[in-house]
Structure 1
Amino acid sequence: MKNLKKELHFFLKLSVLSFLFIFSLTLKLGAQETAQPSSENKETKSAQEKTEDKTNDKTKKKEVSEFEEKRDTILYGIGDDILELIKRLKADEDDRFDADLKKIFAETKIPAIRDALFAYFAEKKNDCLKADALMVLENKEDFPQETVRSAISYIRELAIYEGINSLRTILKDEESEYRDLCISAIGKIGKPDDAIFLTELFDSEASDDEKKSLIIKQNIMFALEELHPAEIWDFLIRVAEDSDENTIIRGTAVSALGKIGDERAIPILSEIFEDKDPILRTAAIKGIAGFKDDKAKNIIIQAFKDSYYKVRLQAIQSAKEEKAEDAVPFILYRAKKDPENTVRIAAIEALSHFNNAEANEWLVDSFNEEKTGLSLRLKIAESLLKNNFDLIYEDVKAAALKAISEKQKNKFSAELGKTISTVENTGTAPIAEAYLNHKDPIFKSIGLDMFKRNRYPELIPLVSAIAEDEKNGALSRRAKDLLQAGNTNSAQDNQTGNK
């Protein structure tokens, strides 16, 4: 009996241990199944990844396709297509094809394409066509007149001094079709010797056509004003004081005289400021602006009260350029009260540079007041966003977001959006997002203008969505171009950084 009890006790004990072991094993297996995805989950995840990869590949293929399409146009397209593409690349600031375009310049026989490429690279300040421009000037008889003109403009814009002898030769030969451009180019890139050459050209001008002669002399004087070396002081004095000379020519000489910076000019300019001719008074203010003595400052202050609006405009411009804090009350008064809207706009732009407390308060209050008028409100927004961003941004953002949601304010919201799109500051991203999300294509386009200017990283997905939606038509194509250009520029920046 005792043996039977022992065997029964042993059997029960063994059963309990077995149960506990099996229960523990079941828990472990359950935990592992929870921690590890089933083969079905793995297959589902793999399918999602494949779908995403296909989408990405499709997008990349589209980008490559559009890149190749543009490149094929450059390499194989007809003239009109290439010219249209150059305009598009210029508008989108797309640099990816510059090497191909340079190659096309060397190969093309179409003058219009050469002219367009001179203008394209001139605007970008890219000197890749320097040798070509010099060659055109040296062999101008072999090229159409418009190509020669384009080459001169290119040399001027890039200040290529190696072309100065060719420019002088053209002027000596009295080739009228290029004369004005050559004079302007020398004014931009010349040295004191070239200025003396222009004074001699001025004095020797004796065309039978009085109107033609006057234009030539005026253009020479404009070039001399740009150069204004001390070596032509006596010449400028003579022209400025010649009462028989044309007023515009005299005024330009007066301005150039002041730019030389010799204080002997102050009494001369002061006397000319009292002339009854407003052109001469304007020139005197322009010329005297750089001088710091009290007499010069007083003349500028008096100019703010001149009856001729261009004299007041020049006073504002001169005070801004010289950062004349003493002139702020006068500029503020012009912004508030001037009868000419042009003067008020110039005053507003000038005030944005000074960061004066009283002026700032008036500017912000005027922007927020609808009665101020559209043109003035837009000018305040533009000027302060560029020159004192933090002062006006919150007010501009509030006004833009409110206006964009109200149909009756469509004109204001569109014009304000265009103004914001000219400002280079990534802080405008929330405004750009609102415009990009708008249903109206006009506002979406303005949003893309903002994106083009600032390349907001956080808005790339939104622009990508516009690009991928074919219903957006031209906006879709434009968004794709912006994204591609942005990717190319980023890659170029990274390569430069790595170097």
Structure 2
Amino acid sequence: MKRFLFVPAFLLAAALTAAQDSAALEKRRDVIRYGIESELLELVTTLQNEKEDALNGDLLEVLAQSRSPRLREAVLKFFALREWPGAVRAAVALLDGRDQESAQSVNAALGYLSAVKAREGIPEAREILESREPKYLPQAVRLLGRAGGDSESELLLDLYKSDETSDALRQDVIQALGEIGARAAVESLMETLDDTAGKKTTRMFAAEALGKIKDARAVPPLVRAANGEDPQVRGAAVTALGVFSGAEAEAAIVQALRDSVPAVRLAAVKASVSRTIRDAEPFIRFRARNDPDRNVKNEAIKALAALGGRENLQFLRDLLQDRKADAPSRVAAFTALLEKDPEGSREDLDKALSAEAASKDPSLLKAFQRALVQGTDKAAAPLVEAYVLKSPDFGTRIAGIDWVRKNKVASLRTVLAALAETDKVESVRTRAAAALADL
């Protein structure tokens, strides 16, 4: 008598998916091996969009073999975006032989080394600065800022003070000094910030750099700038003050919550959170309800959740349940509570979802569902099960399945198994089967 082995449908689907993935990977390898430049450029763009690193080793061979500046630049930019450290030796070799290479390839190599903070590139970058090679100066400055130390800060400061340095390059140098944390540059940066006749962008970069260096000497000029005439400089100064403790810095941040320019108020809200300024909380609650700018309103709502505390969280729960409040604010409150207080606010989140599920207008429910599947906290699993995986809309169910898979929520394994076996929509069954195999 013949016996038949029963294999669950979801296991067969998972095996089929794995085979398809392997075939697709080999097809891409063939493009790398045999493709023309345009095909490789298209593939690199696709890998970048997918954030896929499986073919990095193959692309490294392309970098070594290709003489196309466009292709080299594309590969190095991809590696830089992925912050993949495997191409450091190849990039340094490009710098070393830069007299025989295109400027396009050399600058791409400098940009890559900056992205991965590779100290191996510092000797060549220093040489570029010392010999003032104009084609490569901006990227070399950025590399020294990202990967350098005290000895590099002295070299950068010399370039900053040079009369031959252009405004654009000086701004690059200011940013690099901030990245390094160059205390030797504080006095010069303070002078730049205080120069109200100077270029606005340069003053903004000086404020940003002073915030990164975190030297307390910078607080008075930053406070002056936070109360100055130019709103963009005010915003940069308020952001920088967010790293400093002390009454003077905190008072300037709180007052900036009342600035007439939305961008400055936005900076003040963020700075209040970074310093956990309790005196700012009443102002932020007011902004969350009443600010005329949508971005400031949303940031204030996020800030209250981040600051926490009984009064702030209750404010957000009340805002969520307030049917007279504007829909974007209610969605922002839902998202903030889901991210920062999913357990403590579970009842309010459930109540809001239930009310909107019964509503004739599905728009707010869909927004709440999107917030659920964009989150990462497994504490939201009961809400995802009730309002996403059991949704009558198959697209919403698929989004819920992807959330379970991405966050490895093993507590919903039984729900996925049921979807893989019994859902009426084939694409849902297939997606659930693949997710189940990943748990």
- Is this a same-fold pair by TM over 0.5? yes
What is the aligned partner in structure 1 of residue 57 from structure 2? 102
Which of residues 79, 93, 96 in structure 2 aligns to 1:135?
A: 93
Q: CA deviation at 1:170?
A: 4.3
Give the Cα–Cα distance (whole angstroms) in 2 for the partners of residues 65 and 141 of structure 1: 47
Name the larger-Rg structure.
1
8 A contact 2:254–2:272 mirrored in 1: no
Matched position secondary structure for 1:257: helix
Quick check: 1:389 aligned with 2:345? no
Which of residues 395, 400, 418 in structure 1 aligns to 2:370?
A: 418
Give the Cα–Cα distance (whole angstroms) in 2 for the partners of residues 479 and 442 of structure 1: 12
Q: CA deviation at 1:167?
A: 3.0
Specify the code of the residue in structure 2 equivalent to 1:129.
Answer: A
Give the Cα–Cα distance (whole angstroms) in 2 for the partners of residues 278 and 263 of structure 1: 23
What is the aligned partner in structure 2 of residue 288 from structure 1? 241
Matched position secondary structure for 2:266: helix
Quick check: 1:167 aligned with 2:125? yes
Which of residues 142, 153, 157 in structure 2 aligns to 1:199?
A: 157
Matched position secondary structure for 1:52: coil
8 A contact 2:204–2:232 mirrored in 1: yes
Q: CA deviation at 1:246?
A: 0.5
Give the Cα–Cα distance (whole angstroms) in 1 for the partners of residues 254 and 402 of structure 2: 41
8 A contact 1:269–1:288 mirrored in 2: yes
What are the within-5 Å matches in structure 2 for residues 188-267 of structure 1? 188-204=146-162, 206=164, 213-267=166-220
Matched position secondary structure for 1:370: coil
Q: CA deviation at 1:332?
A: 1.4
Which of residues 322, 333, 346 in structure 1 aligns to 2:286?
A: 333
What is the aligned partner in structure 2 of residue 428 from structure 1? 380
**Identity within the alignment, %:** 23
Specify the code of the residue in structure 2 equivalent to 1:363.
Answer: L
Structure 2 gap segments, 5+ residues each: none
Give the Cα–Cα distance (whole angstroms) in 1 for the partners of residues 278 and 416 of structure 2: 44
8 A contact 2:420–2:431 mirrored in 1: no
Aligned residues: 430
What is the aligned partner in structure 2 of residue 28 from structure 1? none
Summarize the Cα distance change of 1:387–1:471 in structure 2 as closer, same or farther, 3 Å threshold: closer
Matched position secondary structure for 2:374: coil
Specify the code of the residue in structure 2 equivalent to 1:153.
Answer: G
What is the aligned partner in structure 2 of residue 62 from structure 1? 16
Which of residues 64, 75, 90 in structure 1 aligns to 2:29?
A: 75
Q: CA deviation at 1:260?
A: 3.5
8 A contact 1:257–1:287 mirrored in 2: yes
Q: CA deviation at 1:364?
A: 0.9
Q: CA deviation at 1:337?
A: 1.9
RMSD: 3.8
What is the aligned partner in structure 2 of residue 156 from structure 1? 114
8 A contact 2:223–2:252 mirrored in 1: yes
* TM-score of the aligned structures, taking structure 1 as reference length: 0.72
Q: CA deviation at 1:354?
A: 1.6
Q: CA deviation at 1:424?
A: 1.3
Give the Cα–Cα distance (whole angstroms) in 2 for the partners of residues 430 and 254 of structure 1: 46
Specify the code of the residue in structure 2 equivalent to 1:187.
Answer: G
8 A contact 2:402–2:435 mirrored in 1: no
Which of residues 45, 52, 59 in structure 1 aligns to 2:6?
A: 52
Please identify, of 454-463 and 362-371, the stretch whose mean Cα deviation from structure 2 is larger: 454-463
Matched position secondary structure for 1:389: coil
Residue by residue over 1:454-487, the C-alpha shift from the partner in whole angstroms, topping out at 9 and shown as x without a partner, is 12224456657559999746x7776677667x47
Which of structures 1 and 2 has the larger relative contact order (alpha carbons within 8 angstroms, sep 6+)? 2
Give the Cα–Cα distance (whole angstroms) in 1 for the partners of residues 52 and 141 of structure 2: 33
Give the Cα–Cα distance (whole angstroms) in 2 for the partners of residues 312 and 288 of structure 1: 13
Specify the code of the residue in structure 2 equivalent to 1:157.
Answer: A
Which of residues 266, 270, 277 in structure 2 aligns to 1:313?
A: 266
Please identify, of 165-174 and 213-222, the stretch whose mean Cα deviation from structure 2 is larger: 165-174
Q: CA deviation at 1:366?
A: 0.9
Specify the code of the residue in structure 2 equivalent to 1:313.
Answer: L
8 A contact 1:304–1:312 mirrored in 2: yes
Q: CA deviation at 1:360?
A: 0.9
Summarize the Cα distance change of 1:84–1:66 in structure 2 as closer, same or farther, 3 Å threshold: farther
Q: CA deviation at 1:174?
A: 5.8
Q: CA deviation at 1:177?
A: 5.9
8 A contact 1:75–1:104 mirrored in 2: no
Q: CA deviation at 1:247?
A: 1.9
Specify the code of the residue in structure 1 equivalent to 2:29.
Answer: L
Summarize the Cα distance change of 1:144–1:457 in structure 2 as closer, same or farther, 3 Å threshold: farther
Matched position secondary structure for 2:121: helix
Matched position secondary structure for 1:421: helix
Structure 1 gap segments, 5+ residues each: 1-42, 208-212, 488-499
What is the aligned partner in structure 1 of residue 320 from structure 2? 367
8 A contact 2:305–2:337 mirrored in 1: yes
Give the Cα–Cα distance (whole angstroms) in 1 for the partners of residues 138 and 435 of structure 2: 39
8 A contact 1:309–1:340 mirrored in 2: yes
